[in-house]
Amino acid sequence: MTQKLFGTDGVRGTANTYPMTAENALRIGAAAGRHFRRDGSNGHRVVIGKDTRLSGYMIENALTAGLTSTGMNVLLLGPVPTPAVGFLTRSMRADLGIMISASHNGHQDNGIKFFGPDGFKLSDEAEAEIEAIIAGEIALAQPANIGRAKRIDDARGRYVEYAKTTLPKGNLFSGMKVVVDCANGAAYQVAPQVLWELGAEVIQIGVTPNGKNINLECGSTHPRVCAAKVLETGADLGITLDGDADRLIVIDERGQIADGDQIMALFAERWAAEQRLQDGVLVATVMSNLGLERFLDGRGLRLERTSVGDRYVVERMRQGGWNLGGEQSGHIVMTDYATTGDGLIAALQFMAVLAESGKPASMLTRCFDPVPQLLRNLRYMPGVDLLAETKVIAAIDAGRDALAGRGRLLIRKSGTEPLVRVMAECEDEGLMVRVVGDIIAEMESVAA
């Protein structure tokens, strides 16, 4: 079945327009409830978390109505990070977990992400089954079997306590000054609290959400804000999260930015030395820098690449029995601790290395020299297939020929936005710029 509603990571779109309308969210909730309540019995439960977007209220209420209409009992968590939903789905023995968030997007967008009872995101097959139910007639529960809704007041506290258990006891970060940018998003309360309880001196930014400022000139997509604050305050490091706190970007004491590739390189090397890295494998996507792959090769480790999306990283990790993976964008997946990317727990692990080593952050965030990489995006109109055009195909083939043996070329459609992404890597930056420019020019001529 061809999926039309679900993208790379659940359902996403502009709030109050299809597919992110209250009407459609209600139907999605009802279909998900029917999918997970196939036996018709009562007692099934779903946890729902959200970030701080204004539209989260609307989507939360609509999902709740749809879920209860098919007999599911709903546990409302309020604003919590996406990984907290994965954790609490499993911890609270729920049949389903839902996170309402559009991750790093602006407030005008929203999304619906699903977790299974094991705390992992749903497979493509499960999402396709839910989509098939949405397309048909959804069987509602009998009046006596309609579900209930209950707000869980201590959801954040449960996650805070769990996050701290991933580290040894004690004030591990005593004497450490850290800037934390919560992107005015889901972690605006939990991240500063965890860091403070572990002994750090915490300087907070991006912790005043108003429903419309999530990811606005802050967070992991705007790390320069955190970098400036690190330099201004003389902090030991900065950590920046995105709107739903499943991504992490680290800032060293010099204000330099370290992306997910550098963080994964550090963890992989240390875990391998401690014999914790399963089979010597790190799982990352096709977007990760060639320099990371060379770094791992030089240490007898292996990079396993997947399609873009932390869900695909996790699926490959589970298939291979591997415990470390992630994305260049900052998703760091450590299945020893979490079922999905967790920006806060990844930050805690980095800070633990910092505290243990006694080295400045700048010595830990530059594990390898990245190969020059250029990424350009081109927005297209729905219904237009730029990658099927003869002129575009020819330009892509010519670019691959030019880079053969010297670098990489990756062309893909975004799974969350109407964008075509053109990425190239090559030590010859002039060649790289020319190849990407030629492809973008052909796409623009077709899209005009």
Annotated binding site for Mg(2+): 103, 242, 244, 246
The DSSP bridge partners found for residue 446 are: none
Pairing of strands 324-326, 332-334: antiparallel
SS3 per-residue string spanning the chain: CCCCCCECCEEEEECCCCCCCHHHHHHHHHHHHHHHCCCCCCCCEEEEEECCCCHHHHHHHHHHHHHHHCCCEEEEEEECCHHHHHHHHHHCCCCEEEEECCCCCCCCEEEEEEECCCCCECCHHHHHHHHHHHHCCCCCCCHHHCCCEEECCCHHHHHHHHHHHCCCCCCCCCCCEEEEECCCCCCCCHHHHHHHHCCCEEEEECCCCCCCCCCCCCCCCCHHHHHHHHHHHCCCEEEEECCCCCCEEEECCCCCEECHHHHHHHHHHHHHHCCCCHHHEEEEECCCCHHHHHHHHCCCCEEEEECCCHHHHHHHHHHHCCCEEECCCCCEEECCCCCCCCHHHHHHHHHHHHHHHCCCHHHCCCCCCCCCEEEEEEECCCCCCHHHCHHHHHHHHHHHHHHCCCEEEEEEECCCCCEEEEEEEECCHHHHHHHHHHHHHHHHHHHC
Best CA proximity match to 362, nearest among 252, 238, 236, 227: 252
My answer on whether omega of the bond before 19 falls inside 30° of 0, hence cis, is yes
Could you tell me which residues are annotated as the binding site?
103, 242, 244, 246
Residue 296 corresponds to which amino acid?
L
61 is written with which tokens?
Answer: 């209420």
The DSSP bridge partners found for residue 126 are: none
Provide the annotated active-site residues. Answer: 103
